[in-house]
Amino acid sequence: MFTTARTVLEKTQPGASPLDLFAAIESLKKSLNAVILAHYYQEPDIQDIADYIGDSLQLARAAAQTDAEVIVFAGVHFMAETAKILNPDKLVLLPDLNAGCSLADTCPAEEFALFKRAHPEHLVISYINCSAEIKAMSDIICTSSNAVKIIQQIPEEQPIIFTPDRNLGRYVMRQTGRDMVLWQGSCIVHETFSEKKIVQLKITHPKAETIAHPECEESVLRHANYIGSTAALLKYCQESSSQEFIVATEPGIIHQMQKAAPHKTFIPAPPENNCNCNECPFMRLNTLEKLYLAMKNQAPEITMDEEIRVKAWRPIQRMLEISA
Binding residues for ligand 13P (CB under 6 A)? 55-56, 129, 143-145, 187, 213, 215, 229-230
| Upstream peptide bond of 95 is cis (omega within 30 degrees of 0) | no
Question: Residue 236 binds what, of ligand 13P, ligand SF4, none (CB under 5 to 8 Å, by partner type)?
Answer: none
The contacts of residue 305 (CB under 8 Å, 6+ apart) are none
Tell me the closest approach of the beta carbon of residue 173 to ligand SF4, in angstroms: 19
Tell me the closest approach of the beta carbon of residue 69 to ligand 13P, in angstroms: 25
**Applying CB under 6 A, does 187 fall inside the site for ligand SF4?**
yes
**Applying CB under 6 A, does 94 fall inside the site for ligand SF4?**
no
**Applying CB under 6 A, does 167 fall inside the site for ligand SF4?**
no
Tell which one of 103, 151, 212, 294 touches ligand SF4 (CB under 6 A). Answer: 103
Question: Residue 56 binds what, of ligand SF4, ligand 13P, none (CB under 5 to 8 Å, by partner type)?
Answer: ligand 13P
Tell which one of 22, 112, 236, 282 touches ligand SF4 (CB under 6 A). Answer: 282
Nearer to ligand 13P, 55 or 209 (CB): 55
Nearer to ligand 13P, 82 or 230 (CB): 230
Residues near ligand SF4 (CB under 6 A) are: 76, 101-103, 129, 187, 189-190, 215, 250, 280, 282-283
